[in-house]
Structure 1
Amino acid sequence: MGMAINNLPQIREECEILQLSEKQLREIMVRLHRDIEKGLGKDTHPSSIVKCWITYIQDLPNGKERGKFLALDLGGTNFRVLIINLRENHFDMQSKIYAIPQHIMTGTGIALFDHIAECLANFMMEHNVYEERLALGFTFSFPLKQVGLTKGILERWTKGFSCSGVVGTDVVQGLKDAIARRGDVQIDICAILNDTTGTLMSCAWKNHNCKIGLIVGTGSNACYVEKAELCENFEGGQSRADMLINTEWGAFGDDGALDFVRTEFDREIDVNSVNPGKQIQEKMISGMYLGELVRLALAKFTRMGLLFGGRGSDLLFQRGSFYTKYVSEIESDKAGDYTSCMEVLEELGLDHATEADMAAVRHVCECVSRRAAHLVSAGIAVLINKMGEPRVTVGIDGSVYRFHPHFHTLMCEKIAKLVQPGLQFDLMLSEDGSGRGAALVAAVACRESQQQFA
């Protein structure tokens, strides 16, 4: 060990490209704000990058919703079915997770919806509601063009899905058809929404200031409450003041708007992804990519001879081998302690790492996750500034926000610097948002229709 050279200063210098200055963040905010305005505008929407879809949800929960509701939450490699019994001030909830086998993720749409309908029927059987007619809220976390509360056209698959015959069609109809093919259960699909909307709804049930929903997990997206008169694509008579907008901000940067801060690592991730050129901001933020960003940087520094004495390992040079959960684990070590870092490096076959190497690995993780937190913060600050409300609660869900040890603090500090003076905000972890939120949207929809028929 006597002759170990400390390469940390040079690695820190190499990592400076991963740091966003205040000036860069403010430029990003200007560009995102402009893109959101384009998404909301009637004439600019068709060509806009950040779509700002109208969700057709105009009422947030008021706490008076009652009854039994189903929710279906499809957002990744598995999906959840939930049954929720809303009572005064509290609710019971049971749920079950079902896997989606790889061959179904890449098979036909019909097979996908048949699989979901079968799981739904089994779930109803297990919970003794097989004979009842229940309302269901459907959380579908892929880019949707909403045409109504119960009609959503799939824009494109993301997150490894590629089921044929679904893009360009109404996914609610796809599920209804599958339920009808079975003919054994009675389910009314009351609403389709995405996970950000569900997160907002579930937080708003507890906290009436909640006006923004945010996901920082496998993907990244946000929704917020906008004044209906600013939603130029909303056809349904401006009776009420508010409309929930699903920004689909993961696509921000698809036109090059973020190129001035992207690195060679970002470009490499994009080129090797299933959707090159798409979801550019998401690829700098979300859990699907953070670990790989770190791996690419570590691999580069190893090839430069700055890390691990220039000796890597098969896994270090293998795409996808550095999981995002490793980033959270490594950053959870106390200063000067490298227990988790050592375990991760051993798993990757890098047991020859020195303490200086571990300090460098930790620094790379911190740079990648701090950049993600700062990008998310800039986006949230844009929404808070746009809404101009004196105090807004942001409901947040997703594995990165939930499990990363510093993400919350990084966001609090950065948003505070970027919002207009006098605007206050809180960040609220959504307990199980997208599932409960879907049931709440169904409950609110039923509350509405009951008032109409009353």
Structure 2
Amino acid sequence: MAETEENIEHPSHKRTCMCRPLNIPRTKPTPEVLNLLKDLQLTDDNLKQYMKLLMTDIRKGLARATHPTSIVKCYPTYIQDLPTGRETGKYLALDLGGTNFRVLVIELEKNHFEMTSRTFVIPQDKMVGSGKDLFDHVAACLHVFIKEQKLEQECLPLGFTYSFPLVQEALNKGIIERWTKGFKCDDVLGRDVVQLLQDSLVRRGIQKNVKIQAVINDTAGTLMSCAWKSPYCRIGLIVGTGTNACYVEKLTNAEMFNGPNKGSGVVLINCEWGAFGDDGTLNFIRTPEDIQIDETSINPGKQIHEKMISGMYMGELVRLLILRCVKARLLFGGRDSVDLNQKDKFQTKYVSEIEAQKPGNHDRCKAILENLGMQNLSDQDLQNVRFICECVSRRAAHMCAAGLSTLIKKTEEKRITIGIDGSVYRHHPYFHYLMMEKMKVLVKPGVVFDLMLSEDGSGRGAALTAASASSSIY
């Protein structure tokens, strides 16, 4: 599920390809710490090798002959039409991807929209019970929302954001591959999520009020939301708890696409790039801490790329690197604490909070470490910890930059906008600028690109997909 937008100032609320370069702070660690952590600092040659490997995997994922063994799956989403900004009408959106889910009604006018939403809770017994009970609960909540908004006399198209692993067979057909995030309704694995919801609507007696037009994931929603504002948007990226990307591909290259060509000549591809590296291709830039995080995770050997980038793992990576420095007696005089040795105790939000302070101001860093049981901290200790945070976030941003540069090259566009969402991108003070800085090095000269923060891709993006689908029959 895409993260909730908060009232924060963020540089990427504006399109920034022409913005004034930012002087991104670089903390000066001790020479010994700098040398110990050199494996975290990727060179441009490292990133160019990464791009070459990713491009190879994308091409394998697109091709019918190599798709079964591909790591980056490149699933067609069956979205062939992007928003034009001229969509009008009233649409429903359903955003299901966690213990809370949202129902929205969105009224589109040219260059303007109005949105009303309500969040509902999914009880624990529905998360681990039968699929019928889960979708009946969703339909019941949708019914409550329809009555609250006085929509009983209308039949509205619905866009369904479903942020669990899904194999799409049409724009309005997706096969449930597996459950994540604490859900376990295994009796519906291998079944069509749209049909499951439709059956629940019928049992609830509200099928006359709702027409399910499309099912998408949050990455596609991000792209669709930004494409409504920018006619150049061709890539969507999520960098939050997890990470994924999608992009617009020529239909002739998408060999796994099994639907009719509706005339645009393109289709949106869900890369599922979190799995990049699951076959060992990223071992040349992985650290011992990356390997430890993977081995102690709930899915060893899976989502290697995601584990090097996303918010679920960033804080833990910092903690393990701190312990590397402690073991080498380069930090805290070789001392540690019980809390510092506890898995996931160093939260990812601490990375953003520490880097958000002006260089030389270590108040937040000190408070965090003291809360983890560390005392008698020197200024150099605090400066070294900030440097560790910078190493982790910089590597993540540079890997994202290399991934996006690869997708830009794949699209062959000369001007392109990238829609982005996710808690890491939204809340880290420099992630946007670190990406821009590196993409200016990696993207082919002459290509104009910019990064745009998505506004509610899981809601508005789903509604816009429904709007596009409503104009033709898929």
TM-score range, shorter chain: over 0.9
Whether the 8 Å CA contact 2:415–2:448 is kept in 1: the answer is yes
For residues 137-286 of structure 1, what are the structure 2 equivalents within 5 Å?
137-184=159-206, 186-238=209-261, 239-286=263-310
Q: Deviations over 1:77-98 (max 9, x none)?
A: 4322211011232110122233
* Pair 1:368–1:46, CA change in 2 (3 A): same
Q: Does the C-alpha gap of structure 1 residues 137 and 310 become closer, same or farther in structure 2, counting only changes over 3 Å?
A: same
**1:191 offset after TM fit, Å?**
0.2
Q: Secondary structure of 2:221's partner?
A: helix
Equivalent of residue 367 in structure 2, options 333, 338, 343: 343
Specify whether residues 269 and 393 from structure 1 end up closer, same or farther in structure 2 by C-alpha distance, changes over 3 A only: same
Q: How far 1:256 moved relative to its partner?
A: 0.9
Query: What residue in structure 2 maps to residue 21 of structure 1?
Result: 43
SS of 2:102's partner is strand
Q: Which residue, out of 129, 146, 160, partners 2:151?
A: 129
SS of equivalent residue, structure 2 residue 311: coil
The amino acid across from 1:223 in the alignment is C
Secondary structure at the counterpart of residue 147 of structure 1:
strand
Taking a change above 3 Å as real, the CA distance of residues 92 and 7 of structure 1, as seen in their structure-2 partners, is closer
Give the TM-score normalised by the residue count of structure 2. Answer: 0.89
Question: In the aligned structure 1, how far is the partner of 2:223 from the partner of 2:324?
Answer: 40
Percent of aligned pairs sharing the same letter: 58
Q: Is the 8 A contact 2:29 2:383 kept in 1?
A: no
1:317 corresponds in structure 2 to 341
Partner SS, residue 117 of structure 1: helix
Q: 1:77 to 1:341 in 2, by over 3 A?
A: farther
Equivalent in the alignment of 1:378: 402
SS in 1 for 2:236: strand
Give the counterpart letter for 1:235 in structure 2. N
Q: 1:91 aligns with which of 113, 136, 143?
A: 113
Could you tell which deviates more after superposition, 412-421 or 71-80?
Answer: 71-80
1:402 paired residue number: 426
- Give the letter aligned to residue 92 of structure 1: E
Q: Distance in 1 between matches of 2:203 and 2:345?
A: 41
Q: 1:362 to 1:173 in 2, by over 3 A?
A: same
- Report the alpha carbon displacement of residue 131 of structure 1 after superposing the two structures with TM: 4.6
User: CA offsets, 1:170-208, max 9 Å, x none?
Assistant: 111222223233334632211001111101111011110
Partners of 1:216 and 1:396 within 8 A in 2: yes
Q: Secondary structure at the match of 1:281?
A: helix
1:3 equivalent in structure 2: none
| Paired amino acid for 2:244 | N
Once structures 1 and 2 are overlaid, which stretch shifts more, 149-158 or 224-233? 149-158
Contact 2:29 2:387 in 1 (8 A): no
Q: Which letter maps to 2:306?
A: E
Letter of the structure 1 residue corresponding to residue 190 of structure 2: G
Supply the distance in 1 between the matched residues of 2:30 and 2:324 (Cα, whole angstroms): 14
> Size of the alignment, in residue pairs?
445
Q: 1:258 to 1:121 in 2, by over 3 A?
A: same
- Look up the match of 2:24: none
Change (3 A) 1:329 1:69: same
Show CA shifts across 1:68-119 (max 9, x none).
1111122344322211011232110122233445554444433432332232
> Any idea what the Cα deviations from partners look like across 1:297-330, whole Å, max 9, x if unmatched?
1233334433233332332221122211111111
Alignment of 1:287 onto 2:301: no
- Aligned in 2, Cα 1:283/1:188: closer, same or farther, shift over 3 Å? same
C-alpha distance in 1, partners of 2:395/2:58? Answer: 22
Deviations 1:335-383 (A, max 9, x none): 1001221232233233433222211111111111111111111110011
SS of the aligned residue for 2:117 comes to: strand
Contact 1:7-1:306 within 8 A present in 2 as well:
no
Counterparts in 2 of 1:3-14, with a 5 A limit? Answer: 8-14=30-36
Equivalent position amino acid for 2:428 in 1: H
* Separation (CA, whole Å) in 2 of partners of 1:159 and 1:285: 18
Shift of 1:232: 1.1
SS of aligned partner of 1:448: coil
Q: Which runs of 5+ in 2 are unaligned?
A: 1-27
SS at match of 1:371: helix
Counterparts of 1:146 and 1:275, CA distance in 2: 23
Q: State the Cα deviation string for residues 144-165 of structure 1 (Å, max 9, x = none).
A: 2110011111223344444322
- Say what the alpha-carbon RMSD is for the aligned residues: 2.0
* 2: CA distance, partners of 1:292 / 1:352: 23
Q: C-alpha separation between the residues in 2 aligned to 1:150 and 1:353?
A: 57
8 Å CA contact 1:65–1:447 kept in 2: the answer is: no
Distance 1:351 1:412 in 2: 38
Aligned partners of 1:78 and 1:245: how far apart in 2? 27
- TM-score after normalising by structure 1: 0.93
Provide the secondary structure at the position in 2 that maps to 1:400: helix
Q: Which has the higher contact order (CA 8 A, sep 6+)?
A: 2
